[in-house]
Amino acid sequence: MIICHCHAVNDRQIREAVANGVDTIRGLNRELKVGNTCGQCLPQVRRVLESALMQIAEPSPKKVA
């Protein structure tokens, strides 16, 4: 889903940036330019960022063999 229409950034790109170490709105701004133009996307960018960070913080369930 497109999050930043000004720069055509989708949620997958934000999650990928987080997986590669970006952990702040400012970092996403530098990497993907989100929020650089109109700023309308920032609330949604924050939600996707927080969700992605929470997924990283949660341990993966171990498969029981």
Residue 13 lies in a domain: yes
How far does the chain reach from its first CA to its final CA, in angstroms?
A: 36
As a whole number, mean pLDDT of residues 36-50 equals 97
Domain hosting 13: range is: 2-57
Residue 63 has pLDDT above 80, yes or no: no
7 located within any domain? yes
Number of domains observed in the structure of the chain = 1
Per-residue tokens: 39:
């700023």
- Is residue 50 included in any domain, yes or no? yes
The mean pLDDT value for 10-25 works out to 98
Residue 65 is predicted with a pLDDT of 61
We report the CATH number of the domain holding residue 25 as 1.10.10.1100
Average confidence (pLDDT) over 10-21: 98
Directed axis angle between helix 42-57 and helix 11-19, to 10°?
40
